[in-house]
Chains A and B, each alone.
Chain A
């Protein structure tokens, strides 16, 4: 059974750094892209970017390029989403999901989401 298990909720202050994780199991982690999706409170889904854990090839949406870093550690089947300096506007639910193909593909399995709250 394919599973993506995300790290727990975070409460941070503006300016702080953060790295959240997503551990995959039940499939070949290095053979599928994995991506991140943002959902701000009461708003829609936003495609942030994807990574291919096999070779760490990474693609970002222009809206998120330079704002976050996506990485993966294939030795522990885990993908990461990282911020160097959080803003209040980063408050959102973040989902990881397995991505079929490169950018023109679907998210077929989803994690449970990680709620990030940034507040002074």
Chain B
């Protein structure tokens, strides 16, 4: 079945920029979405349609797309951004959805 590939972990120091990638063949055809999940909590949508930011999400969160890879960028990382991040998209025909394996962001 269709898969989205994310790095298992990313580490950055406070104030630096974190970049989390998500790769799959169908990403040029389908939008990607990004979620933040903190321990014991439900996920929160932080980016939709590759690069749009929902209301209430800080401006330091941004998304971009290039070919078969989408990227979540967190500028000026804060300690509160430490969480698991998941990308989500759909298979090439748009029949079903799929999540990436998740990336644990550690703020050093």
Contacts and interface: CB of A to CB of B under 8 A. Distances in A.
A47 B86 contact: no
Given A107-B45, A108-B48, A44 B1 contact: no
A106 B88 contact: yes
Contacts, number: 74
Closest 3 pairs (CB-CB, A-B): A104-B90, A47-B97, A106-B33
Interface in A46-61: 46-47, 49-50, 59-61
A78 B21 CA distance: 36
Interface residues of B, number: 28
B108 interface: no
Contacts of B95: 59, 103
B97 A103 contact: yes
